[in-house]
Amino acid sequence: MNFMSITNSIRAQIPPIHPEGYPFIGGFALASLILFWIWTPLGWIGTLLTVWCALFFRDPVRMTPVRDGLVVAPADGRVSMVSEVMPPAELGLGDKPLPRISIFMSVFNCHVNRSPVTGRIDRIAYRPGTFINADLDKASEDNERNSLVISTPNGLIGVIQIAGLVARRIVSFVREGQTIGAGERFGLIRFGSRLDVFLPEGTKSLVSAGQTAVAGETVLADFKLGDGGRTWRAD
C-alpha cells in the first residue's frame, strides 16, 4: 500500500507529454541506444538530451481564471517587453500603436501555447521570415510568425507566435471561425521562441518586463479591474 502511494505520488509530479513530442522523444531515445553501442559516455549524453526533449514537450494542467475581461499569458517564459508599437499589417488591427506584451520562451520552458482570452478566432495569418534571436525587438517584424486575431466583447486581441533562433516549426491546432476559451491550447513552437499579445488601445498591462509568466494562469491585463469573483478551470 505504501509502495503504491509513493508510486502514485511520483506519477502525479510528472507532467503529461503533448503528442507532438512523441516522434522527437522517440528519435532521441533511439539515437541514445545507438550511442551507447558506439561509446557509453555518448549514450549517457543522448539520454540527458532525451530527458530534455521530454521536458520540452511537457503539457501540464493549468488553473485558468475564466472571469470575463481577463487576459492571461499565452506562453511560459519571461516577459521581455511591455510597450506600445504598431501591430503587424496582417492582423488588420489598424494603423495606430497598440499595447504589446512579449513573452520570450527559452528552450527550457514549456512550449504549448494557450489562448489569452475567450472569443472567436476571426483570422489566422502565417508569414514566412528569418530566424534571428526572438528576444530582439526586430524579430516581431523579420521572423517567421503565425498570427491569430480573436474577437471578444472587449475588443480584438492579437496573438502572434514568433519563431526564434533555434525554432524551425510553428504548429497551430486551431482554425478560423472557431470559438476558443481562455487557457485552451492553440499551438506550440519548436524549439525556443516568443509570443506577442496585442491589446486594445488604452489597455493597462498588469505585468512588467522581467516578470515570469505561466501560460494560462498569469493575468496580463484585466478589462474589469473593479470587478471581483474570479472562477477557475483546470485544463
Domain ranges of the chain: 2-56, 63-224+230-234
Residue 214 CA neighbour count, 13 Å, CB half: 9
Amino acid 59 reads: D
Q: Catalytic pick from 32, 140, 193, 205? A: 193
pTM of the model: 0.84
Asked if 162 and 91 count as a contact pair (C-beta separation under 8 A), the reply is no
Say whether 208 is catalytic. no
pLDDT value, residue 133? 53
Domain 63-224+230-234 fold: Glucose Permease (Domain IIA) (2.70.70)
Q: Per-residue pLDDT tens for 20-63?
A: 888 888 999 999 999 999 998 999 999 999 998 888 788 899 99
